[in-house]
Amino acid sequence: MTTLQAFILGLVQGLTEFLPVSSSGHLVLVPWWLGWDNPGLAFDALLHWGTLLAVVIFFWRDWWEMLMALVRKVQGKPAQGKDHLLLAIIIGTIPAALLGFLLQDFFEGLFGKPAAVAVFMIVTGLLLVFAERWTKSHRQGRSMGKLSYWDALLVGVGQALAIAPGISRSGSTIAAGLARGLDRPTAARFSFLLGTPIIFGAGLLKLKDLVEMGVSGSSTTPLVVGFLTAFISGLLAIRYLLRYLQNHTLYIFAYYVWGVALLSLARYFLV
């Protein structure tokens, strides 16, 4: 892998991890479209560590307050509500953790199938459109303080769907949050917070692949470039989406993933 390829893939990962267009899908389709060798799940995991660092730094205050609330809870002091959010994140993480544990090999096999990825991207677009249509006919506007554990579990089910490459994790979780009546900024914010443990866990599981392959001196630079690019672009993507969703819908992202999917399917079957 060249440094330029690592930069492009890092940029793709950083932007698409948080924009609702599927980072896993893009990391399959971009190399396929450009005729590159598949970078492998280990490199993919390293890019996820870059976006993990981005989301942790962006929401560091939330994580710090949750940690302090947990400490106060253990000490028998008032936890000021942040322990509620921490428990909601734990509950929401369970579905994806279970599905990943049970069907890890099956879903990893899909990373080598561009047509399957494209079909799942169409599903992502459908989820986004469904969420927008749902919000028009149902009352919305609940903030993070009104988030229930049932909300967290159902958003977690949305996150579990995103184990399939092509289904956007942020897209499916934001859509689930909107379907549960959360306002747009809250749905996006909880999506990012909920994704932190899963991104960490996936990176940790695949880190051993990187160690087993070994990192030669010639491959160090692309790895560092990919990681840093994913980190910086991830920060920018989080900031952008949180602002965008204050006054805009998800339709543009649905149209985008449909376009990418249809072009990919056309190339796969006709070229």
Which residue stretches of the chain have pLDDT < 70? 40-42, 78-81, 108, 139-140, 208-219
C-alpha 261/C-alpha 166 separation (Å) is: 9
Q: What is the pLDDT of residue 145?
A: 82
The residue among 226, 233, 135, 236 whose CA lies nearest residue 186 is: 135
Please tell me the predicted confidence (pLDDT) of residue 210. 62
Closest to 45 measured CA to CA, from 166, 254, 223, 256: 223
- Which pLDDT belongs to residue 76? 74
pLDDT in tens, 13-32: 999 999 999 988 998 899 99
pTM of the model: 0.89
pLDDT digits (tens, 9 = 90+) for 61-82: 999 988 888 888 777 776 666 7
pLDDT for the residue numbered 201: 82
Tokens 């940690």 -> residue: 67
